[in-house]
């Protein structure tokens, strides 16, 4: 079967993850022969044993898959390999099991069943696979949880070599685990005969590079979260990349305290107030705007049943906690989005899970969705907020990565991608 591998072909476009914003002329990236890593369409797949590392780490509830978004995201790469005539071997982790111990609740058997339904073809599930797999071209198998194997997380060389021995081509497609140097990500890539990036991984890296390495100005970044300590490296790195840096959640509270605002009983990190002050000073020198809330929604209890009281930031009482930005602040953020050309979003600006304190994040979601900017969003809470406010189709790119998304924003190298450079 001959397949047109031209990226503009109807076949390729049908299976590739399409851009989400109809107003943004963002097309499937063309093959770049100068790329530091090979891509799936650069490699011969016909009659080859192709081992694909995907991310099937899906939420489970009551013995069922609660959300199959990550599984659906892998379908383009899998279908591409199958249509090209490969024998497809899939592997992934699920949860955090104890190595060398089987845990039925973290088995990938249900994922195999879901894949069979999504692909409309049988997906064989293999429990004992590391010492060899029998498979023919056009067939597909899913291996049991890689984290049941001893040495996976430590990137054991012998385990990595065993994985590499299973295939002719290794495809790294799990962006969400690319920041981890494990046997099934970085290890196997070093020892496989040939390694390349899958469609999902390449799309993630292309979108992130568009937003952070070659962005259109003005660039706006939104970084939310409860702790400055977990995001300070991101904030420091972004000062050299953006024109506007919006901070939200507990992070914003610490910055407010750094400007001598009384934040009452709000979540802050007192040990990081000085670091926040220094960041504000650096931002001013670099002409980067960090707009802090001028009004906020407060409550005396952290509860979904609490009512929101809107106050000026100067009127927060000692027994009150800030749980969201106020309407004036939300409106000012929306105005910033109107002029942005690139938007990077990681983290909500309030406790959006509580109805009374969802207004700020909702307004921000709508503002980003209505912007003409290229927008990329990542992180579990961010994607949950986007889903809650039904703006998925109006964000240019939704990243499947959490930790990997953050580490890319920090400017760090991702081991699962670096290994592809070595085995090119």
Could you read off the pLDDT of 28-44 as tens digits, one per residue? 333 343 358 999 999 99
- On whether the CB atoms of residues 166 and 114 are closer than 8 A, the answer is no
Could you read off the pLDDT of 145-172 as tens digits, one per residue? 999 999 999 999 999 999 999 999 999 9
**pLDDT above 50 for 6:** no
- Run of H or E residues at 191: helix 188-191
Which residues make beta-bridge pairs with 52? 90, 171
In angstroms, rounded to a whole number, what is the distance separating the alpha carbons of residues 354 and 352?
Answer: 5
Could you read off the pLDDT of 384-421 as tens digits, one per residue? 999 999 999 999 999 988 889 989 988 889 999 999 98
In angstroms, rounded to a whole number, what is the distance separating the alpha carbons of residues 18 and 395?
Answer: 12
Residue of 186 and 402 predicted with greater confidence: 186
In angstroms, rounded to a whole number, what is the distance separating the alpha carbons of residues 87 and 135?
Answer: 6
In angstroms, rounded to a whole number, what is the distance separating the alpha carbons of residues 150 and 201?
Answer: 26
Burial of 238 (0-12, 13-18, 19+ CB in 10 A): buried
In angstroms, rounded to a whole number, what is the distance separating the alpha carbons of residues 284 and 280?
Answer: 6
Which residues are the active-site residues? 70, 227, 380, 403
Confidence of residue 424 (pLDDT cuts 50, 70, 90): low
Question: Which pLDDT score, from 0 to 100, does residue 379 have?
Answer: 87
Instruction: Outline where 286-414 has alpha helix (H).
Output: 327-339, 359-370, 380-388, 403-409
Q: How far apart are the first and last CA of the chain?
A: 26
Question: Which pLDDT score, from 0 to 100, does residue 422 have?
Answer: 67
In angstroms, rounded to a whole number, what is the distance separating the alpha carbons of residues 183 and 130?
Answer: 12
Question: Which pLDDT score, from 0 to 100, does residue 12 have?
Answer: 36
CB contact set of 62 (below 8 Å; sequence gap of 6+): none
Instruction: Supply angle C-alpha 411, 337, 394, rounded to 5.
Output: 85
Could you read off the pLDDT of 319-336 as tens digits, one per residue? 999 999 999 999 999 999
Question: Which pLDDT score, from 0 to 100, does residue 8 have?
Answer: 36
Mean pLDDT of 113-136: 97
384's tokens: 């949950």
In angstroms, rounded to a whole number, what is the distance separating the alpha carbons of residues 293 and 266?
Answer: 14
Place of tokens 């591998």: 5
95's tokens: 């949860």
Distance of CA 238 to the CA centre of its chain: 17
């Amino acid at each position: 079967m001959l397949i047109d591998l031209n990226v503009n072909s109807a076949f390729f476009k049908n299976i590739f993850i399409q851009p989400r914003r109809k107003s943004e002329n963002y097309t499937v990236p063309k093959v770049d022969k100068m790329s530091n890593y090979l891509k799936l369409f650069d490699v011969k797949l016909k009659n080859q044993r192709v081992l694909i590392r995907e991310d099937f780490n899906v939420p489970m509830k009551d013995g069922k898959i609660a959300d199959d978004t990550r599984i659906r995201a892998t379908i383009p790469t899998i279908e591409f390999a199958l249509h090209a005539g490969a024998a497809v071997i899939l592997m992934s982790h699920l949860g955090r099991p104890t190595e060398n111990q089987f845990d039925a609740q973290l088995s990938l058997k249900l994922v195999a069943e879901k894949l069979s339904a999504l692909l409309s073809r049988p997906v064989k599930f293999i429990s004992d696979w590391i010492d060899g797999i029998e498979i023919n071209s056009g067939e597909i198998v899913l291996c049991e949880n890689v984290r049941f194997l001893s040495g996976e997380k430590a990137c054991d060389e012998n385990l990595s070599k065993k994985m590499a021995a299973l295939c002719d081509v290794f495809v790294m497609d799990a962006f969400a685990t690319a920041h981890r140097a494990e046997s099934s990500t970085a290890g196997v890539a070093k020892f496989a005969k040939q390694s390349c990036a899958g469609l999902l991984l390449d799309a993630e890296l292309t979108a992130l590079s568009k937003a952070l390495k070659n962005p259109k100005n003005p660039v706006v970044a939104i970084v939310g979260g409860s702790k400055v300590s977990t995001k300070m490296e991101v904030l420091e790195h972004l000062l050299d990349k953006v024109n506007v840096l919006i901070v939200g959640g507990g992070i914003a509270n610490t910055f407010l305290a750094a400007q001598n605002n009384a934040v009452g009983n709000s979540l802050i990190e007192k040990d990081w107030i000085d670091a926040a002050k220094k960041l504000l000073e650096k931002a001013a020198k670099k002409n980067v705007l960090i707009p802090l809330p001028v009004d906020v929604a407060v409550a005396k209890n952290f509860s979904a049943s609490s009512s929101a009281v809107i106050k000026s930031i100067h009127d927060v009482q000692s027994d009150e906690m800030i749980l969201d930005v106020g309407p004036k602040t939300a409106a000012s953020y929306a105005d910033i989005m109107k002029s942005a050309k690139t938007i990077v979003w990681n983290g909500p600006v309030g406790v959006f899970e509580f109805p009374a304190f969802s207004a700020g994040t909702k307004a921000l979601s709508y503002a980003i969705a209505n912007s003409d900017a290229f927008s990329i969003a990542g992180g579990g809470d961010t994607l949950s907020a986007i889903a809650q406010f039904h703006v998925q189709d109006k964000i240019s790119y939704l990243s499947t990565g959490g930790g990997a998304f953050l580490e890319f924003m920090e400017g760090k190298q991702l081991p699962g991608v670096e290994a592809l450079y070595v085995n090119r």
